[in-house]
Structure 1
Amino acid sequence: MLTVELDHESKMPLYEQLYVKIRDFILNGELIKGDRLPSERGLAVNLQISRNTVSLAYEQLYAEGYVEVRPQSGYYVNQVDKMGEGRNWNLVPIKTEEKSIKTEYKYDFSPFSLCKESFPYKMWDRLYRKCLRDGGGKLFNLGEHQGDLRLRQAISKYLFGYRGLVVKPENMIIGAGTGYLLQLLENLFDESIEFAMEDPTYMQAYKIFSSLNRKIRPISLDKSGLKTDELERTDAKVVYLTPAHQFPTGLVMPIRRRREILEWVSKEEERYIIEDDHDSEFRYKGLPIPPMKAIDSSDKVIYLGTFSRTVAPAIRIGFMVFPDKLLQRYKEKLAFLACPVPRIEQAVLTEFIEGGHYERHINKTRKIYKNRHDALILALKEFGSKIKIKGENAGMHLVVECNFGIHEEEIINMADSAGIKLIGLSKHRIVNEDIEGKIATLLIGYGNIGEGSIREGIETLCKLF
């Protein structure tokens, strides 16, 4: 039986304390590969805590890849390889596909739609007026090229509190969204350098790199994410990843795979990882998954974040944290570029974060998405064995494999005729596979559709198939 000491007076929840203790046992070698963890009931009785507390801790360990589940047997420790600890322009427009006729949908299940009603309009207006009143004419002067220092400090503090990241504000760049920052970043690498990307991937990032004539090597995924063995066989120097919640498949990259890729990047001086921390705030079970940046001992991870998904797309404010070496290269090559985000917008976001409004907004929005996530899963049960749900418990969409006997495109067209907007996984593949005979896969979002409409929309869809 496993015996650990838990502090019932601590502000840290008991399940989080238990998760940290067991994780440390694994990392320190006190629990090794193949060791079976005590049953949830047995450990709960031994530690005199609820079984639910043990269950939450185990689920977090499983989500991060420290343990595996064997059906009708229990939780077993995975192999976790240790790494060294401690850390000692030409921007081009992005091509987008536009439909000549905009279709109005009754049920919008797009994975890109956000909850519009949750935006704190009154608070944003109040902070805007406050910044204009207090900042005066200073906010209409040119600011720092990397973005206002106070905003970078506020983001750094938030990342430390919420993501466990220690980042220096001076290593951060503020930009007009992810697209701008990726274009800026691409200019820091030699034109001959090959980029590797997950396949399927976040297609906007792929379009950015390909529009800049960058050679891209697609790497397929397995149940743990990007395949390291395929990456090793390429000449790629830079790899773009969404490890916390892979877009679009919803995979969470376990700790062992993360360490394998960190080992790969540490082998050569010019190798780097672009970590797009996609949808990391919206996790509905357990703790947020720690970023790769948090365990990067060789200073090779470029960390990318945006407020477009958590506040509103129109905010157009993102940030990028450079490793020290790349920061120096940025200063030598691109420091002349002014920050494209208006200073008044930077000031409002700063007040929004510093005043605790951003954290409250995230908590409120997470509850809304959690309710919609649960409503969608419940509604999808009407399909029975015809579907298989993946990528749940995080983000703003579910991955649904459909065994309807017809192709993905046919499903989408039939749904479209019924006023239902659906997106297929194939739209996010770099390599177009022959889908003949393959199960159709849909990305069903719940960001901007209420629980009642979710039920109605899925009922309508169910009648079609």
Structure 2
Amino acid sequence: MAKQFEGPILPFLRLDVAAALPKFRQVQDQLRMAILHGHLRAGTRLPASRILAGELGLSRQTLVRVLENLKAEGYLEARQGAGTFVSTALPRPSAKPRITPARGDEPDSALPRLSRIGDLSRDVSAAIGQMEQKPFLPNQPALDRFPFAVWRKCWNAVTRGGKAAMGYGDVSGELVLRQRIAEYLALHRRDPCDPEQIVITPGGHAAFTLAALTLADPGDGIWFEDPGPVTTSNLFRTLGLRLCLTDVDDDGMDVARAMARYPDARLAFVMPSRHHPLGVTLSLPRRLALLEWARANDAWIIEDDYDSEFRYDGAPLPSMRSIDSHDRVIYAGSFSKALYPGIRVGYLVLPPQLVSAFRNLSGLIHRSVPVEAQLALAEFIGGGHFASHLRRMRGLYAERREAFMEAGRTTLAGLARIDCSESGLNALAWLDGGREDRTAHRAVLEAGLQCYPLSDYTIATPRPGALILGYAGVPTERMKTYLSRLAEALSRS
């Protein structure tokens, strides 16, 4: 009985009772044009004639006549016991060309009028996350080792037979997930907090957006490390913030120079546990200086702790928030690297005085993160599966890191120098012989591999050419083979 309700809703079917054209011809012509224009794709199942006749106010006999005519013309086909479908023998309709004019290619009058933020977004790109998942893709966890069966059980456990996951959620995030995150931070990051200080967001970038919108006005300055993650710098620029570029050396962000050049900045965005892409750690003296600057200038620090779980020499480093005695740090974390990028669950740990404002603005912008994902994640963490997964992945990534460094030192000799920090999922390959990293990047892509050129992360301060390579997603037994292919590509660049 349920089968008769299958098929798409067809709102384009309209009957004109005043028209001279018979009703069956009106329906027949509209269906034919919908198929020709690709609105009804090949293989689409049509609603049963009884249902469609009722929706249009026609007799079933009239609808059967329409369908039979279209079958005879070759637009539809009948499948025994299954129903009526759009014919799969028809050629695909030609797609209209999608033209995206570059800025300045057309007069301003040809461009739509946008908001200030919309206008700024024309000149930036968010496409870095759309790269193909090929060997050496940076920031890529070992998806082949994810415990899918356990995750599915957690998902089923919180959604089976109940309505709790089907409504709107708490705008701060589900309490049980905030409790699990607070427990995890206290145990693994040595950073206890109250679950009420946590706001769940749809990923890390949503967390940064929320912080910027809540704490800064367009034109306000934000300290930003150069080089730094390109999509994040594009985000802040699009929101109208003034990028205050700060140098990075072996001790991390050059805080003293930033204080001298940009003392009046409103925000500082920093990756203290592991800078991306250089992999360095912010030293303790600089952490303390940054905290003191924020206190003295009524400024705020956004701490991006994006992959601190994966440190291969000793325990993960304490967060900056854990040594902040003046409540100036907004801690941002996510599960994209620890679990998988598509989960799109991030979180903020906030100073108590900011919770209400962040909570309200999050509710206005996001409403809530999908409740099912939150509850499943809480079950996954609470059942001990998250800790077990991290333990396994640390061992696996340490093994893959060692294989990468050992094979890379010999395979890439004379072509690049491997620089692999003691944490994270990526390494740098500093190119020898004056090679230009964007040229090398194109050669690597042609070889069926993936990487990012360091130049794409550099905003103002030129650096020697380097490639950012992800080793965590590459099986150990394939590492040498892929590195040999990488060497061949670099030798041609």
The normalised TM-score by structure 2 is 0.70
1:332 Cα offset (Å): 6.2
Match of 1:247 among 276, 279, 284: 276
Distance 2:456 2:361 in 1: 35
Distance 1:143 1:253, change over 3 A: same
Q: Name the CA distance, whole Å, in 2 between partners of 1:337 and 1:275.
A: 22
Whether 2:267 is the aligned partner of 1:238: answer yes
The 5-angstrom pairing of residues 352-391 of structure 1 reads 352-382=380-410, 383-384=412-413, 386-391=415-420
Q: Structure 1 333/412 Cα, relative in aligned 2: closer, same or farther at 3 Å?
A: closer
- Matched residue SS, 1:384: coil
Q: Is the 8 A contact 2:169 2:368 kept in 1?
A: no
- Asked if 1:279 is matched to 2:307, the reply is yes
How much has 1:274 moved relative to structure 2? 0.4
Distance 2:407 2:303 in 1: 34
CA contact (8 A) 2:438 2:455 kept: no
Q: Is residue 183 of structure 2 the alignment partner of residue 154 of structure 1?
A: no
**Structure 1, unaligned runs of 5 or more:** 1-89
2:229 matched to which residue of 1? 202
Work out the CA distance in 2 between the residues paired with 1:231 and 1:404: 33
**Residues 299 and 124 of structure 1: CA distance in aligned 2, closer, same or farther (over 3 Å):** same
What one-letter code is carried by the residue in structure 2 that aligns with 1:356? G
Aligned-pair CA distance for 1:450: 1.3
Q: Does 1:444 align with 2:469?
A: yes
Matched, 1:344 2:372: yes
Corresponding position of 1:264: 293
Percent identity over paired residues: 28
Could you give the per-residue CA deviations for residues 363-387 of structure 1, whole angstroms, max 9, x where no partner exists?
A: 1112221111111101111133653
Q: How many residue pairs were aligned?
A: 367
**What is the aligned partner in structure 2 of residue 76 from structure 1?**
none
Higher relative contact order, chain-length normalized (CA < 8 Å, sep 6+): 1
Aligned-residue offset at 1:401: 1.2
Corresponding residue of 1:313: 341
Distance 2:322 2:241 in 1: 28
Is the partner of 2:144 in helix, strand or coil?
coil
Give the residue type in structure 2 aligned to 1:447.
A
Aligned to 2:16: none
Question: By how many angstroms is 1:204 displaced?
Answer: 2.1
Distance 1:392 1:333 in 2: 37
- Name the counterpart of 2:11: none
Matched, 1:322 2:347: no
Whose radius of gyration is greater, 1 or 2?
2
The 2-side partners of 1:237 and 1:328 are apart by: 20
Partner residue of 1:397 out of 426, 433, 443: 426
> Which stretch shows the higher mean deviation, 195-204 or 294-303?
195-204
3-state SS of 1:137 partner: coil
Match of 1:407 in 2: 436
2:330 is matched with which residue: 294, 297, 302?
Answer: 302
Cα pair distance change 1:460/1:327, threshold 3 Å: same
d(CA) in 1 for partners of 2:367 and 2:392?
Answer: 31
Give 2:357's aligned amino acid.
R
Choose the corresponding residue for 2:153, options 126, 131, 135: 126
Alpha-carbon distance in structure 1 between the residues aligned to 2:366 and 2:436: 48
Q: In structure 2, what is the Cα distance between the partners aligned to 1:367 and 1:91?
A: 44
Output the CA distance in 2 between the equivalents of 1:423 and 1:323.
35
Q: Which residue type is aligned with residue 355 of structure 1? A: G
The change in CA–CA distance for 1:373 and 1:222 in structure 2 (over 3 A counts) is: same
Q: Which residue of 1 aligns with 2:256?
A: 229
Matching residue's letter, 2:213: N
Displacement of 1:193: 2.1
8 Å CA contact 1:426, 1:432 repeated in 2: no
Segments of structure 2 that go 5 or more residues without pairing to the other structure are 1-115
Structure 2: which amino acid aligns with 1:230? Answer: R
Which residue matches 2:89? none
Q: How many Å separate the matches in 2 of 1:331 and 1:98? A: 29
Instruction: Report if the CA contact (8 A) 1:389-1:400 is conserved.
Output: yes
With over 3 angstroms needed to count, the CA separation of the structure-2 counterparts of 1:266 and 1:103, relative to structure 1, is: closer
Who is 2:317 aligned against? 289
Q: How far apart in 2 are the matches of 1:103 and 1:254?
A: 33
Q: 2:459 aligns with which of 430, 435, 452?
A: 430
The aligned counterpart of 1:68 is: none
The CA deviation string for residues 247-306 of structure 1, in whole angstroms up to 9 with x for no partner, is 11000112111111112111122x011001121001111111111011001110000000
Could you tell me whether the CA contact under 8 Å between 1:246 and 1:278 is conserved in 2? no
**How far did 1:241 drift?**
0.6
Change (3 A) 1:431 1:150: same
Deviation at 1:462, TM superposition (A): 2.5
Question: Displacement, 1:331?
Answer: 5.0
Residue aligned with 1:326, SS? helix
Amino acid at match of 1:198: E
Given that 1:258 and 1:292 are in contact with CA atoms closer than 8 Å, whether structure 2 keeps it comes out as yes
Q: In the TM superposition, what is the alpha-carbon distance from 1:330 to its structure 2 partner?
A: 2.8
* 8 Å Cα contact 2:405-2:420 kept in structure 1: no
Asked if the contact 1:144/1:338 (under 8 Å) is kept, the reply is: no
One-letter amino acid of the structure 1 residue matched with residue 476 of structure 2: E
What's 2:486 paired with? 461
Which AA in structure 1 matches 2:224? M
Q: How does 1:30-49 map to 2 (within 5 A)?
A: none
**Deviation of residue 117 (structure 1)?**
0.9
Q: Supply the distance in 2 between the matched residues of 1:340 and 1:119 (Cα, whole angstroms).
A: 26
**Stretch moving more, 185-194 or 144-153:** 185-194
Specify the code of the residue in structure 2 equivalent to 1:268: N
